[in-house]
Amino acid sequence: EKANKLVYDSEASPPVREVATSAEEQRQFVLSSEELLTLARWAVQIEKHYSARVGHDVPMDIEWAKDGLTGELFIVQARPETVHSQAAAEQGATFDVYEITGQRDKLVTGKSVGEKVGQGAVRVIKSTSELHHFRPGEVLVAPMTDPDWEPVLKQAAAVVTDRGGRTCHAAIVSRELGIPCVVGASNATSVLKTQQDVTVSCVEGDEGFVYRGLLQVSHKTIKASELPKPKVPLMLNVGNPSLAFRLAQLPCAGVGLARLEFIVSGLIGAHPMALVHPERLDGPTRDQLQALTASYATPTEYFVDRLATGVAQIAAAFYPRPVIVRMSDFKTNEYAGLLGGSVFEPHESNPMIGFRGASRYYNDRYREGFALECAAMRRVREEMGLSNVKLMIPFCRTLGEGRKVVEELEKNGLRRGEKDLELYVMCEIPNNVILAEQFCELFDGFSIGSNDLTQLTLGIDRDSDLLAHLFDERDPGVKEMIRMVIERAHKHGRKVGLCGQAPSDHPEFGEFLVQCGIDSISITHDALPELSRRLAV
């Protein structure tokens, strides 16, 4: 929000003062794209310089500033980073996995600092005069902190502040101490009450959350060096771009499933067609959309830029390993929940097998929205140079539909085979299995979605509580479907992976896939240690 800024004031001591930013300034980006690239180039040069002097890679801690009068960029500090890099060198690559179970009642949201979960009783402290009330192991909740608070910070289970960003005092100290911290929560000191038990989560991406109560939390540390090499490549299912750089440290073969839905709902928040046709929205919704996209030249550029940014963050983290991006697969009821979505979505009695996936891309109801998705993918692959991105089409019911989607992609500048573009199709409908050899002519490979394939093989709505006891990917009929598609695809030199939930929930299912000759398995990151051991060479 950039609510405040520092300006020069020759009469002040030091000669700066803090003033409020205007609404117009808050809507603008602080740096231009070219300035960002300049800083990035400088950082690379600095790291190369120091690394060359000592003969090995040296991670650098670099600070910069932009002069408010001249607009010039300056490097004001550059020194070797020691705390995290030394720990990594001593321990090797490690990854902490936290799992929070139980019903979550979210009380406060802010920016997450650190990658841990903390729990305890709240202690709201609004000034240094109240610091003596703090007890070790409590969750410190404050408007802001400064160096006078450090003795207390060292004893806190977690820290939550109303104000501040990821470079504020509370964030810096908490990061050094390894304490989970949520900053910029705005209303923490008014919502949270002293002696109230809470769970503070900083393991869910950029956003940090404070939940009511002491939730059950499990924790395990994965040491990459201890994981054996599996018989087939293990890839990861990744939806949240803000977790990508952490997940990319794990010993995996890439990303077998990057879902666009998480990026659209988390980073964009608006229906693509509402951004194409804001004139169809009512006044209040149009105002919301305008506020959301105010920093961009057009509403559609907002969508393309933010979608490209989210995908690129995943692709860059895993580069040069492959990242298979599944084009949007929202159901109509899910799309309707996005800003402006209810205007463009039909009502369906069973959206799970309705207007979803490939059927939308060439339909006039969504064709312009799909064009925006394609524009974002072109930007990632061609402008950003992340050619490790491969595309995947979900819920493609028929060969005719497959051909229409391929044509639609080509209209939008994404031609299979050009610039090394590979195009995959989800195998989640019995027709994909029955006509697998014909689908091989249209696509470079298959990725089995075990949830939908089970749903449509067994005739079970996977959202049905009444039939949940019958829903099982290990059913002989489902396994035969999987065996058939692998055999038929291999006959035509096409690869087959699986990105469904089954091997994450049932490690023994991975052994079955290996027996069938699967080319890769994509799983959730927490399932990686167990499946690696199960499938060890």
Residues marked active site are found at: 169, 499
As a whole number of angstroms, the longest Cα–Cα distance in the chain is 81
CB of 237 within 8 A of CB of 523? yes
CB of 14 within 8 A of CB of 8? no
Helix (H, G, I), strand (E, B) or coil at 249: coil
Helix (H, G, I), strand (E, B) or coil at 361: helix
Q: Which helix (H) or strand (E) holds 486?
A: helix 476-491
Preceding amide of 503 cis, omega within 30:
no
Gap between the Cα atoms of 418 and 511, Å rounded? 36
Q: Six-digit token pair at 137? A: 């192991």
Amino acid at 168: C
CB of 426 within 8 A of CB of 446? yes
Q: Which helix (H) or strand (E) holds 76?
A: strand 73-80
DSSP characters for 117-152?
A: EEEEEEEE--SGGGGGG--TT-EEEES---GGGHHH
Q: How many other CB atoms are there within 10 angstroms of residue 241's CB atom?
A: 23
Phi, psi of 379 (to 5 degrees): -60, -45
**Long-range contact pairs involving 167-171 (C-beta distance under 8 Å, separation at least 24):** 168/144, 169/144, 169/145, 170/113, 170/142, 170/144, 170/145, 171/113
CB of 268 within 8 A of CB of 302? yes
- CA-to-CA dists, residue 379 to 72, 262, 301, 413, 414, angstroms: 29, 19, 11, 11, 11
Gap between the Cα atoms of 3 and 327, Å rounded? 37
